[in-house]
Structure 1
Amino acid sequence: MDVVVIGCGASGIAAIRRLHDAGLKVIGLEAADRIGGRICTVPFGSGTVDIGAAWCHGEKENIVFQLTNPLNLLGRPEPFENIYVLSNGNVLDTKKGATITEALNDEIAKADKNNTKSISDYIRKASKTNEVLNNNGQLTEVFVEWFERSNHVGGQKDSRKGKSLKGLEECWPCDGEVFLNWKGRGYKTVLDVLLNRYPEPAKEIPVPILLNKEVESIRWSSNQPGLDSSNPLVQVKCTDGSLYDAKSVIVTVSIGVLQERHNTLFNPSLPEEKINTINNLQLAVLGKIYIEFEKSWFSKTANFTVLWRDEDKTKFGEDEKWITEIYGLWTVDHQPNVLLAWTYGNGAEIMENASLEAVKSGINKLLDVVFKKEFNVTPVKSIVRSQWGSNPLARGAYSYRSVASEENGSNAIKLSDPLYRSNRFPVVCFGGEATSHHRHNSVHGAVEAGFREADRLINSFKEFKY
């Protein structure tokens, strides 16, 4: 075998496709019972929803857009209206809400991106000096809390784990529409394109992708005590006892999995700089709850911003506090009776570990307390939720640079550096969205990273005539 790809999410599938097209012998090992990783399209409501990645974010220099738009797979959203709802049930004047939101965004836009402090620390300090924000008193505090959750700035428990301002400069958005949808097919569509399953009657690439193959160890150097020095190949062992030898491997598992398992996964251990990078990058825990109603009670273009006042939070018991961290309810393209509730960080973690019945009960209480005063809310029919933080094969939704990352010199470029043999042949390569130099936190970044590592190996196999 030339290459074993470990993890068959978007990055792993992209690498497999590129390696196959170059004529290399490749196999994919996936620990779950499905491919896709944090792409997870499931049946719900009148069609499907995406528990993980949902939209193609942007057009220019977006590899997902380049792959799928020529096939007419992407749809453009209708313009949406922001409805600002206070937690006492009152609807805030739209113009006032937009003005405060714009002031918060303006402060971040003008911030010194070379500053290593957290976004949270910066925006809270800026809210004391910005004229618009300073003139809105308690309402500004409510908006700042929403802004922190909506932008997933982190650092609720440890400020060093908050998103850094400098990280904003390193993460490049793609110009164009950021909410391109899949016309009801779901994000799994991009996997079908990469595997040549679409458009039909295309012939799927004949590469073995083995499911339920959790990797236990990667023995990547034969020049170590206790390893088989007669075998120069990388030796991959799965928890079911199966063994796979290859000239190189591409590891595409999430940064959260690397943080938990790098000590036991790699033999010999990773270099200290690599470990430092793994430990100081962060993984956001972003929670999604899709809510299907008996019938729609909202405009199909409405997005509800939920603004929590401290006095209203007291209406929720200790085991319901996660409800007070829901910061938005959005309509869903091609699902007229469905809203998507968003939560982040600690609230998402608590929600994930509650029973499905408790989550549904919590959503009903949210609707009773916050929405029924001004809206004719219809009964909830069913819900489905994400659980990325508690998923041992993910441990979160996407990666970001934290204050700790800046303090310790950790970044995606260092994470992406391969491990080499003494002759400089890359024996262990690293893919996945966290290794994308400027598009981390996105599927297009994951696909770019998979292509990057595949191309690295294709060129190395040619150079070394391996």
Structure 2
Amino acid sequence: MDIIVIGCGASGIAALRRLHDAGLKVLGLEAADRIGGRICTVEYGDCYLDLGAAWCHGEKDNVVFEMANPLNLLARTKPDHKYYLLSNGDSISTETGEKLLQTLDEEVGKADKNNSKSISDYVRNAAKTNPTFQKDPKLKQSFIEWYEKNNHLGGQSDPKMGKSLKGLEEWWVCEGDFFLNWKGKGYTTFLDLLLNKYPDASKELPIPIHLNKEVENIKWCTSKPDLQRGNPLVQIKCKDGSLYAAKSVIITVSIGVLKERYSQLFSPELPVEKINSINNLDCCILDKIYIEFTKPWWPKFPSKFNILWRDEDKAKFTRQERWITEIFGFNTVEYHPNLLLAWTSGEGAIEMEKVDEEQVKAGVKKLMQVLFRKEFQLNPVKSILRTQWASNPLVRGCYSYRSVKTEENGASAIILSEPLCHGNGFPVVCFAGEATSHHRHNAVHGAIEAGFREADRLIEKFKQTK
């Protein structure tokens, strides 16, 4: 075997496809019983829902868009009708909400990106002197809290875990429509495209992928390689006892999994600078709760409901229900007229995952009675479907980000992405996945780019050994 790819999410599949097309002998090992990783499209009644990645974010310099758009796989999402609701059910005007949002975005836009502060710290300080926020101090507090949650800024319990201003400079946004959807068929459509199975998803996989293969140990050789004689440089042991060997390996698991397992996963242990980046790059927790109603009750489609929490309303929920007060918004779902999607992040998401599904359903119903009973005629909740990305041992989070701690400790995606090589420069252990993307982490297109990057690195090196 030439190369084994560990983790068959978007990045792993991209690497496998590129390597396979170059004529190398490859194998994918996936710990789950499905491919896709944080791309997870599921059947729900007579429709498909994305539990993980859902939209193609942007067009220019976006590899997902460049591959999918010529095949007419993407559709543009219509602008949302936005509502801003206080947590007692009262509303503020859309005009006011949009003006406050624009003010905070402008403040962040003009911030010094070399500043060591978190985005949250900067926003809170800027709002103290911004005249737009002086009229209503209570609304200011509620709106800033919503802004932090809506942008998953983190750092509420530990300021050093908040997203850094410097990270904004490192992260590059793809221009164009930021919410291109998959016409109700889900992001798995793109996986079929990567695997050369589109438009016939029933086609046999052209690339060997072994499912339910949770890797326990990666033993990589430090001695001088003899590639021409076919000596394996990497030996991989799975939890089920199966063994694999190859000349190189590409690791594509999430930063959350690396944090939890790197000390047991690699023999010999990783270099100090690699460990430092694993420990100090952070992973955002973002969960979804899909809510199905007997029929829609919202007057306009599409709609987005932004929740502005007040302290006195939070106090009305018990300690066990505190996760409910971390839900920061709802939006309608394209192609699924009876669904609303609720969002929660950070500690609130972690606590929601610990509650059983019936309690989540009861909590959502209780929140909706408070939020919507004044202005809307609610219809009954039929069912819910929630995600549990933090508690999933094969994921442990949703996407990587740069925190204040990341900057202070000199961690970076660049360091994480550097391969482990022999003295002659041959890459034995390579690292892909969205967390290794230098400028497009936290998105599928960043994961794809990283998979292609490591595949191209190995293709070039293998050519040199022939």
Relative to the length of structure 2, the TM-score reads 0.97
Q: Corresponding residue for 2:318?
A: 317
Q: 2:231 touches 2:247 (CA, 8 Å); kept in 1?
A: no
Equivalent residues in 2 for 1:374-453, closer than 5 Å: 374-453=375-454
Query: Structure 2 counterpart of 1:333, which letter?
Result: E
Query: Structure 1 counterpart of 2:219, which letter?
Result: R
Equivalent residues in 2 for 1:177-256, closer than 5 Å: 177-200=177-200, 206-223=206-223, 232-256=232-256
Query: Structure 1 counterpart of 2:243, which letter?
Result: L
1:19 aligns with 2:46: no
Kindly state the Cα deviation for residue 157 of structure 1 after the two structures are TM-superposed: 2.0
Cα shift readout 1:42-77 (whole Å, capped 9, x = no counterpart)? 122541111100000001100001111111110111
Q: Distance in 2 between matches of 1:389 and 1:232?
A: 35
Q: 2:222 touches 2:422 (CA, 8 Å); kept in 1?
A: no
Cα shift readout 1:195-239 (whole Å, capped 9, x = no counterpart)? 011023996552210000000000012549xxxxx9552001101
Q: Corresponding residue for 2:227?
A: none
Kindly state the Cα deviation for residue 375 of structure 1 after the two structures are TM-superposed: 0.7
Query: Structure 1 counterpart of 2:431, which letter?
Result: F
Q: 1:196 touches 1:202 (CA, 8 Å); kept in 2?
A: no
Q: Corresponding residue for 2:110?
A: 110
Kindly state the Cα deviation for residue 301 of structure 1 after the two structures are TM-superposed: 1.4
Query: Structure 2 counterpart of 1:309, which letter?
Result: R
What is the RMSD of the two structures over their aligned residues, measured on CA atoms? 1.4
Distance 1:116 1:204, change over 3 A: farther
Q: Corresponding residue for 2:369?
A: 368
Q: 1:195 touches 1:204 (CA, 8 Å); kept in 2?
A: no
Q: Distance in 2 between matches of 1:150 and 1:50?
A: 19
Q: 2:291 touches 2:384 (CA, 8 Å); kept in 1?
A: yes
Further displaced range: 11-20 or 231-240: 231-240
Q: 1:3 touches 1:249 (CA, 8 Å); kept in 2?
A: yes
Query: Structure 1 counterpart of 2:12, which letter?
Result: G
**Identical columns (%):** 64
Q: Corresponding residue for 1:227?
A: none
Q: Distance in 1 between matches of 2:318 and 2:8?
A: 41
Q: 1:304 touches 1:329 (CA, 8 Å); kept in 2?
A: yes
Deviating above 3 A after TM superposition, structure 1's stretches of 4 or more consecutive aligned residues are 200-205
Cα shift readout 1:367-411 (whole Å, capped 9, x = no counterpart)? 111111211110000110110011111110000011111011111
Q: 2:195 touches 2:206 (CA, 8 Å); kept in 1?
A: no
Q: Distance in 2 between matches of 1:123 and 1:370?
A: 26
Q: Corresponding residue for 2:67?
A: 67
For structure 2, list consecutive stretches of 5 or more residues without a partner in the other structure: 225-229
SS at match of 2:282: strand
Distance 1:335 1:315, change over 3 A: same
Q: Distance in 1 between matches of 2:274 and 2:95?
A: 48
Query: Structure 1 counterpart of 2:293, which letter?
Result: F
Q: Distance in 1 between matches of 2:199 and 2:206?
A: 16
Q: Distance in 2 between matches of 1:242 and 1:200?
A: 32
SS at match of 2:91: coil
SS at match of 2:92: coil
SS at match of 2:128: coil
Query: Structure 1 counterpart of 2:373, which letter?
Result: K
Kindly state the Cα deviation for residue 463 of structure 1 after the two structures are TM-superposed: 1.5
Relative to the length of structure 1, the TM-score reads 0.97
